[in-house]
Amino acid sequence: MVIHYRPWMVVVALGVGALACSTSATAPTPIDDWGGDFAFSFVDPVGDTLPAQSGEAGAALDVVRLEGTMTASTFTFRLVFATPISAWSTGRDDRLDGFVDFDIDASTTTGSPSAVDLFGGSAAMGTDLFLLLRDDFTGAIPLVSTRNGGSVLVNAVFADSVLIVSIPRSFFGNDDGEMSVAAVIHRADRKATDFLPNMDHFDIRRP
């Protein structure tokens, strides 16, 4: 059975804690075999936002870059926007919403379809974990497993036009640090204002 865990399920999932994502289609790489820390950077065009749906108001949030580092202990990334963003907890009209999806084993046969696909895009991923970009009023956002709905809160900083997220790599089990990623950006008053990337997904890989 394919399970689709998305925001309406997060409320009940919070506090479960166990992500249990170590059961991938192929045997996970032991952490002992860590291949070394690395950095990554991807760009998305400026001004490529999607049209507003009927009844929606407000300017689109335009994501322009995803960059970060993968170390043996921590996965840190910065999601950069063309204009300032604000956290969900601020209650502002321009507060950030949306999903960052991770295909940990780079396999479409495990996990669920990406949120990108649910909103009309095509990420071609089997999402194993996703971040819901709504903060919880304490500077944290939920990282949710599509395998079992378990979730943990991870540290998020909203700084002008940048979202900075740090995730302990232990939450990814024994994964080797290489994965696929895609995102759909919402604003509080608009759904799907930008896809990252516009088609398909980015591959986070050691150079």
Q: Which residues bind Ca ion (CB under 5 A)?
A: 44, 48, 62-63, 103, 105, 107, 110-111, 126, 128, 194
| Cβ distance to Ca ion smaller for residue 11 or 23 | 23
Number of other residues whose CB lies within 10 A of the CB of residue 125? 25
Q: Coil, strand or helix: which one is 159?
A: strand
Among 69, 68, 141, 66, smallest CA distance to 98 is for 141
Burial class (CB in 10 A: 0-12, 13-18, 19+), 172: buried
| Cβ distance to Ca ion smaller for residue 110 or 114 | 110
Query: How far apart are alpha carbons 62 and 68 in whole angstroms?
Result: 19
| Cβ distance to Ca ion smaller for residue 97 or 103 | 103
| Cβ distance to Ca ion smaller for residue 118 or 140 | 118
Q: Which residue is nearest to Ca ion (CB)?
A: 126
Least distance (Å) from Ca ion to the CB of residue 98? 13
Least distance (Å) from Ca ion to the CB of residue 86? 18
Q: Provide CB contacts within 8 A for 155, sequence distance 6+.
A: 139, 140, 165, 166
Query: How far apart are alpha carbons 70 and 107 in whole angstroms?
Result: 20
Q: What are phi and psi of 12, to 5 degrees?
A: -80, -20
| Cβ distance to Ca ion smaller for residue 63 or 152 | 63
Least distance (Å) from Ca ion to the CB of residue 13? 19
Least distance (Å) from Ca ion to the CB of residue 204? 13
Least distance (Å) from Ca ion to the CB of residue 183? 10
